Chains A and B, each alone.
Chain A
């Protein structure tokens, strides 16, 4: 079973979703939760069976799909994707468990299960086309979730989300086809397998174009400035569960893809575009943080804060060294947990008041102390408090990028200031002061169902903040091999210089260990 665990992880939820049509409406929630738990348990088992010391792909599966065109069903996980897969199943489980009563709950849960299939698929696919299949397919359930259960502008938001990401990924698709064509030219056989592509060394000019093509797809997904405007709408209109999964998992697809595709395939182009991308990342960080500050709707604050944090992830990715990339991968998980939790928290108050405007609240800490506490913890995690999950990633990302540029890191570091500003102010507006609105005076505190979803996230937030090693170590090993690959493939002097040679470093690391 372990040989096919990834396929099981992908298709079990889909199968369960299809079966779900047969389930009675009343029992649907229980069904969804149990499927979620099974899936999560399977993903934990995956972690358990995962060998942290191996830097390459594990649990590989290989099945010919369209061999004459080089498309094969290849799956595998390494340290980079493993935890995002686990996070995807965690959030689906928690999401279903904390689902409030909405209309058509059955459809919602089935859709979520399909969404889970696509999410796991994206992060485990090792074939360009299979990756693309899941990448695109993930839009559909999300489209439905936003469009059917969202706010007043839900249709605009969902269609915008769909078309924008769709358009971007089509450009990426052209890039992939080019990549396969180059592989065909070099070897005489078609292949979309990423691991095959890794072996291909392209001249720099090709790399630049292909990087740009992939970039469009990924940047819209991340979303990077100036392609980010679909996100506030999507988040603003989506139901809680939609926002949670969108922020926690779907956005990670873009950043993950950067690490899986752009960096190892185009090391020279990555170096070439490092500064422009970093500048975009910095704009994302500062600009969106300021926009977040100007928001009146607390969900929009969290939404824009997502963009801002994604900027840090991008920056870490383009540090092009082990520290930065490990940091960015870790921050993906961190941001997933934290922003997911924040959206859940916003959902809690939305369920009670059916508004997300901060001006409607104030003094909630008096009436909902537990809620305020959890929100406070998550806010501080989001702000990047040490010993919380986000800090590790942010610290490493910035640290990593510092080796590339002093000034840009300084600018990017403004994240910790502006991030604190909008978050604290929003928190103050919602929770501090006197209770001004009569409706707020008797709000019930978080209930058991909501706690089921929130408490694990709080625990993870602190656990991984204090002891990130179990996650960071596998990530590190895989990232090291990626960086080494990039170093070996780099053709230009500049790239060779900027991408460190890890194998040389390994010795000094062990010596550093011995020193302790």
Chain B
């Protein structure tokens, strides 16, 4: 017979669950409200979502305080792991979500925002991501990941046009394959170590000196493949441009930030101990991944004719750039990852929001896709403010100082330099130059070409047709964050470094 199980509530550290549960509660509340009274305006759901996310943020602050005071917190049978990475990632996730949600308040009406399920699923997704980053148990990671992913597929599809279904199905199918990879990889590691907790796996592998290196590699191959899919590493990236193109611009911007930071955190947990144990194979593979992903994505971005698709490739390239942190594996590199991603989230969300506010329902003849380059011709003459804002986002993405991403870039390259990866540092730097071309291409269209006649007639209304105060506010936040990033970098850096360092990365 089993002995009765006695567990004290205190030992469970249930407070670790608070940040994740808040969005779940919010989601359920939205569902319940909808159940009680339908046809409520989307603004209500937007505000409710924001409120819960703010609560979530507050809870995170609390966790952060606990972490600073006591170090890493384990909770609920050691399934939950609240360390610096988890907290930082959740900060990014929640903050970006707060910035994203008001983008629903568009001037024109789009399908997904008219349904409360969207907001419920959105909050579920956030909770899923939060679980994913706040655990080192492969099972919980998997479940969190799938919760978030399934919600995300639906969110994409809810944009409700052919392209978005196509995007969702592609994403879903490839996601299913990636899930298979993930489970297979976990199985192999489990077979080796008898555990599904990353730190135990790491300890056991280290203790027996990687005796079964073949098994380890097979396991890592499959896990790597599944995260390469999530992080859109070439050649696992093929879903990215299509999905970005298919979903709404706001969603695409969101997707370029949140799922990736979650995946990055798990990848850091999973792979860095191998890097630190000098698994040469992984070093080589990651090196190749970083270089190929950056370069190839940049080259494809060069030839795009649609801005959103170009930005999709650019975000692949950025992800490749940031993946260098996992390869380098030093505290500086890991801090650089978070710093970069925080700055990137501002800029990229801003850039996609700019596309979002110019979204048309009917495409004129010269425009094949939603945001083809031609659309932005001569924007400076018809709506100069919008053009300048867009240009600043582009410059920031290109890494032109003093805009936000530049600081992330130099810190990351510096990490490469410090970690002894000189060639990598050069490749990373030079890739910015290649990337410069396509960002500049948009600036060229906006500033140096003459506007298309119809846009002159309505004096550039096109570019802000979808804008409301809420959207403008978000863009305002983004642009201020992008321009004045240099003021925030120092505190951010100290914060991030402390958290990363104290988590043992």
Report if A and B touch in the complex (beta carbons < 8 A). Answer: yes
Residues of chain A having any CB pair with chain B under 8 Å: 64-69, 104, 107, 129, 132-133, 136-137, 139-140, 143-144, 147-148, 154-155, 158-159, 162-163, 166-167, 170-171, 173-174, 177-178, 180-181, 184
User: What separation, in Å, do the CA atoms of A68 and B501 have in the docked complex?
Assistant: 14
Contact size class for B? 35 or more
Q: Is the CB of A181 within 8 A of B401?
A: no
Contacts of B494 in A (CB 8 A): 68
| Cβ of B160 to closest chain A Cβ, rounded Å | 39
Contacts of A129 in B (CB 8 A): 401, 410
The stretch among B66-74, B189-197, B208-216, B425-433 that forms the contact with chain A is: B425-433
Report, nearest first, the 6 A-B pairs whose CB atoms are least far apart: A167-B433, A133-B401, A170-B429, A147-B448, A66-B490, A177-B414
Contacts of B490 in A (CB 8 A): 64-69
Q: Is the CB of B433 within 8 A of A166?
A: yes
- Name 29 A/B residue pairs within 8 A (Cβ), A-sorted: A64-B490, A65-B490, A66-B486, A66-B490, A67-B490, A68-B493, A68-B494, A68-B497, A136-B400, A136-B401, A137-B401, A140-B400, A154-B448, A155-B448, A155-B449, A163-B433, A163-B437, A166-B432, A170-B430, A170-B433, A171-B429, A173-B413, A173-B429, A174-B417, A174-B429, A177-B413, A177-B417, A180-B414, A181-B417
Q: Is the interface of B mostly helix, strand, loop or mixed?
A: helix
In the complex, which of the residues B384, B401, B425 has the most CB atoms of chain A within 10 Å of its own CB atom?
B401
| Cβ of A23 to closest chain B Cβ, rounded Å | 14
Q: Is the interface of A mostly helix, strand, loop or mixed?
A: helix
| Cβ of B343 to closest chain A Cβ, rounded Å | 12
**Interface flag for B418 (CB, 8 Å):** yes
What does the 1/0 interface line of B469-505 toward A look like (CB < 8 Å)? 0000000000000000010011001100100000000
Q: Is the CB of B489 within 8 A of A66?
A: yes
| Cβ of A75 to closest chain B Cβ, rounded Å | 15
Q: Is the CB of A162 within 8 A of B436?
A: yes
User: What separation, in Å, do the CA atoms of A336 and B498 have in the docked complex?
Assistant: 49
For B426, give the chain A residue with the smallest CB separation: A174
**Interface flag for B94 (CB, 8 Å):** no
Q: Is the CB of B401 within 8 A of A132?
A: yes
Contacts of B410 in A (CB 8 A): 129, 173, 177
Q: Is the CB of A163 within 8 A of B400?
A: no
User: What separation, in Å, do the CA atoms of A155 and B410 have in the docked complex?
Assistant: 29
Q: A69-B414, A147-B444, A147-B447 are in contact. List 17 more A-B contacts (CB 8 A).
A: A66-B407, A107-B384, A129-B410, A133-B401, A140-B400, A155-B444, A155-B449, A158-B444, A158-B448, A162-B440, A163-B437, A166-B433, A173-B410, A173-B413, A173-B429, A178-B417, A181-B417
Q: Is the CB of A143 within 8 A of B443?
A: yes
User: What separation, in Å, do the CA atoms of A48 and B406 have in the docked complex?
Assistant: 37
Q: A163-B436, A170-B430, A173-B413 are in contact. Are A144 and B401 (CB under 8 A)?
A: no
Residues of chain B having any CB pair with chain A under 8 Å: 380-381, 384, 395, 398, 400-402, 406-407, 410-411, 413-414, 417-418, 422, 425-426, 429-430, 432-433, 436-437, 440-441, 443-444, 447-449, 486, 489-490, 493-494, 497
Q: Is the CB of A174 within 8 A of B436?
A: no
| Cβ of B104 to closest chain A Cβ, rounded Å | 31
Checking B411, B425, B437 against A159 with a beta-carbon cut-off of 8 angstroms, the contacting residue is B437
Q: Is the CB of B402 within 8 A of A137?
A: yes
Contacts of A68 in B (CB 8 A): 490, 493-494, 497
Contacts of A107 in B (CB 8 A): 380, 384
Checking A133, A158, A167 against B402 with a beta-carbon cut-off of 8 angstroms, the contacting residue is A133
